[in-house]
Chain A
Amino acid sequence: MDFTFNEEQTLIQDQVDQFVQKEYDWETRQSLSNSDLGFGEANWQKFAELGWLGISVSEESGGFGGSAIESMLIMEAFGKGLVVEPFLETMIMAGSLIDDHGSDEQKSSVLEPAISGEMHLALAYAEPQSRFNLSDVVTEAKAEGENYILSGYKSVVMNGPSANKIIISARTSGSQLDENGITLFIVDTDSNGLAKTNYKTVDGRRASDLTLENVSVSKDNIIGSLDSGFEILDSAIDKAILAISAEAVGAMEVLYKTTVEYTKTREQFGTSIGKFQVLQHRMVDMFMEYEQCKSLLYMATMKHEEGAPDAKKAISGLKYQVGKAGKFIGQQAVQLHGGMGVTDELNVGHYFKRLTTVGTIFGNTDYHLKKYTSL
């Protein structure tokens, strides 16, 4: 057992931390989040130049061959700054999926441009009725010669507005809830018949709902093989859960520390409110929840990396804890900041909002507790 990071990992951690501290202050973050694009294109190019985008992509696919640990470190640092650039969407959700299961042609035409910052990606897996069930797929794909014709609807596709290509899960056989019969397609967002409704999400990011009406996709754009998309999707979501949990841990750290500092300066009844034991113990509980989350994050990431038989169970346990701790820390940070905590001006409310969406994305506490039990 070893809980230390190697030299390259420490280096990348320092580099991303420095970026967040020096180039991503709160005003910058807010202006990027409020811009039309919803993030900084210059930042994205910088991530590409520094090699962050391809860090966890295998060398065979044109990346730098890092592990889930590098992604974890990047996402944790991003969580501290509430970074809105869509690293999770483009590189983890879609990128790692192509890295693990894509064809050589898909890697060179989609993954490589993503690594170099020229292309944005998204993963469209949810539908209005599916909630968190990845195998609940109504969107259909019907074979027609060398192509498939996709029709259906995809919900809340994160980074949808910027994505040049979207990986879409569609049913090629079986019935609505079957795990078998789901196929993943890489679809150009300017395809005929694909309409995006773009919007801002409550956490200051961007998403789209997709309507597909007879969208024609070449069978070369199938990832993996026909009908076997569920397992690919499921393993991509596992990686995404690890990444988003790391982001959440970073956000939790900032929230509990910001709250502690605030209660040292805010005075009421002639003393700083941090002197009140009822608040001290609340903040200790926030701190402990954060530490417990971090412990599960490390554990689950290492188990995943090592291909441990109980890695999936560990990931569901982690997501459950992230949901629980994120809600507690977020709500209490707002509570302890009093009225300021509910203002748009203060960053605290925005961290709370991100932890709130993270609690739901890829499955909430109820879903993952049930999944944990079943594994």
Chain B
Amino acid sequence: MDLKFSEADVTFREEVINFLETEYPDDIKEKQDKRIPLEKDEIVRWQQILNKKGWFAINWPTEYTNHEELSVTQKYILQEELAKANTPTNIPFGVGMCAPVVYTFGTDEQKEKFLPSILNSEVWWCQGYSEPGSGSDLASLKTKAELKGDKYIVNGAKTWTTLAQHADWIFCLVRTETTDIKQEGISFLLIDMKTSGIEVKPIITIDGSHEVNMVYFDNVEVPAENLVGEQGQGWNIAKFLLAHERSGIAGIAALKRELTRLKDLSSDIPLGEGTLLEDVQFRNKIEETEIELTATEFTELRTLAAMSQGGSPGAESSILKIKGTELQQTISELFVEMLAYYAHPFYLENEIGSNETVGPDYAAPVMPHYLNYRKVTIYGGSNEIQRNVISKAILGL
């Protein structure tokens, strides 16, 4: 039992740092450091740079990436250094969600068709899970897919579909049968967003941004070959996906960076004779958060270590989802607290980073981020659902 990094790990860290120094584009870095939202092509460009180095699809089996597999420690180091450098977060819908389903449940044809374009970020995916009437009770979903000949005819509506406005494809949970047990009639279907009958309508969130959408399906024809796994197996795939790809779910490395930033910024804010950081009440909140963050970091490392010993990422990953998202919200809240009045001027995404904002130069994105991040305890299975999962799967209740 030890926390030491081997010589190979130290070399690996240097390699990551060198890579970032030479390969992380200045224009993207500048936007990231100012917290200006990136355009799609900028995210694609960065993901392609990572992929070229073999550091994009780090959790895929190596047979699909042709890159060497990283150890748990190397993945930890990579994520830590990427976060420290404030590189863009990977968009997870293709690389982290659709791909694992395809390489685990898909046919050889599906693997060949979909995996390479996910790997090089050419094709963007979005996730069709929630519906207007099906949130936490996801299995009650009603979007219907009827098999007619060699096609499914899809009708219904999906909601909260993140980045659907940019997506080329959507992976969907659809109802292919009406069964007594609602979970058994669900299937996993891949749908080309350009198919006629699909309509995307923006939903504007409280931070004023357009991130999520409604996606309507009106007699959309989908080739039957786009079914993943067996018909009726969709719920099992969805559960697999929920437990899978938990590496980095808590976003620990980015949280460490943000907490450090919070300390740095608040140490420059005068308060009475001293600074905001020296204020006992504010400081205590920061330290309590840091201790919780460290605990979560090591809970994640323990989970990953167990996985690398052959364990499976079970319901334990729900702890990481709960703790990670709670921390994300707490830290976003502390930033707002730090700003006081200058959290109030309201700017839209495209105004952030412009010269027209008032207050400290880091102020404009703070409140939108806080508002936007109320989503994190709701999405990906709300934290209440995660507690249900732990209760059932670990506590046996």
Residues of A at under 8 Å CB distance from B? Answer: 1-6, 9, 69, 260, 263-264, 274-275, 277, 280-281, 283-285, 287-288, 291-296, 298-299, 301-303, 305-306, 308, 314, 317, 320-321, 369, 372-373
Contacts and interface: CB of A to CB of B under 8 A. Distances in A.
Nearest to B283: A373
B291 A2 contact: no
Contacts of B299: 291-292, 295
Given A1-B76, A277-B388, A298 B298 contact: yes
Interface string B274-314: 00000000011001101110111111011001100100000
Given A1-B2, A9-B1, A302-B3, A288 B322 contact: yes
Contacts of A1: 2-5, 72-73, 76, 301, 305
Contacts of A292: 292, 295-296, 299, 323
B394 interface: yes
A161 B135 CA distance: 62
A306 B4 contact: yes
Contact of A264 (B288, B319, B397): B397
B287 A299 contact: no
Interface of B: 1-5, 72-73, 76, 283-284, 287-288, 290-292, 294-299, 301-302, 305-306, 309, 316, 319, 322-323, 384, 387-388, 390-391, 394-397
Contacts of B292: 292, 321
A298 B294 CA distance: 11
18 contacts: A1-B2, A1-B72, A3-B301, A69-B1, A260-B396, A263-B397, A280-B388, A281-B387, A283-B397, A288-B323, A291-B316, A292-B292, A296-B298, A301-B1, A302-B1, A302-B3, A317-B291, A321-B292
B313 to A, nearest CB: 15
Contacts of B4: 1, 306
Contacts of A285: 387
A141 B72 CA distance: 55
Contacts of B283: 373
A306 B2 CA distance: 8
B323 A299 contact: no
Contacts of B309: 4
Nearest to A69: B1
Given A280-B387, A284-B395, A308-B3, A291 B319 contact: yes
Interface of B is mostly: helix
Contact of B391 (A283, A306, A308, A321): A283
Interface centre among A1, A2, A291, A314 (most CB of B within 10 A): A1
Contacts of B3: 1, 299, 302-303, 306, 308
A274 B292 CA distance: 28
A294 B302 CA distance: 10
Contacts of B394: 287
Interface centre among A260, A274, A299 (most CB of B within 10 A): A299
Contacts of B296: 292, 295
Contact of B2 (A287, A302, A314, A320): A302
Contact of B287 (A274, A306, A369): A369
B291 A284 contact: no
A363 to B, nearest CB: 14
Nearest to B6: A1
B294 A317 contact: yes
A298 B302 contact: yes
Nearest to A317: B291
Nearest to B394: A287
B385 to A, nearest CB: 11
A2 B295 CA distance: 17
B186 to A, nearest CB: 24
Given A299-B298, A373-B284, 8 more contacts: A1-B73, A260-B396, A287-B394, A293-B295, A295-B296, A298-B302, A321-B291, A373-B287
Nearest to B384: A281
A345 to B, nearest CB: 25
B397 A3 contact: no
A308 to B, nearest CB: 7
A6 B306 CA distance: 15
A301 B390 CA distance: 27
A373 B390 CA distance: 33
Given A287-B394, A369-B287, A373-B287, A295 B295 contact: yes
Contacts of A5: 1
B305 A321 contact: no
A22 to B, nearest CB: 25
A12 to B, nearest CB: 13
Contacts of A314: 294
Contacts of B284: 369, 373
B391 A4 contact: no
Contacts of B384: 281
Instruction: Give the most central of A3, A274, A308, A317: most B CB within 10 Å.
Output: A3
Contact of B1 (A263, A298, A373): A298
A4 B4 CA distance: 13
B305 A284 contact: no
Contacts of B390: 284, 287-288
B291 A280 contact: no
Contact of A296 (B73, B288, B294, B322): B294
Nearest to A366: B284
A275 B395 CA distance: 12
A284 B391 contact: yes
B294 A299 contact: yes
Contacts of A291: 299, 316, 319
Contact of A260 (B287, B290, B397): B397
Contacts of B391: 280-281, 283-284
A301 B1 CA distance: 10
A280 B387 CA distance: 8
Contact of B295 (A4, A9, A296, A305): A296
Contacts of A275: 397
Contacts of B298: 295-296, 298-299
Given A3-B302, A280-B387, A287 B1 contact: no
Contacts of A305: 2
Contact of B387 (A274, A284, A295, A317): A284
Find the residue from A275, A298, A305 having the highest chain B CB count within 10 A: A298
Contacts of B295: 292-293, 295-296, 321
A304 to B, nearest CB: 11
B290, B295, B388: most-surrounded residue (chain A CB, <10 A): B295
A285 B305 CA distance: 23
Contacts of A321: 291-292, 295
Nearest to A263: B397
Nearest to A289: B295
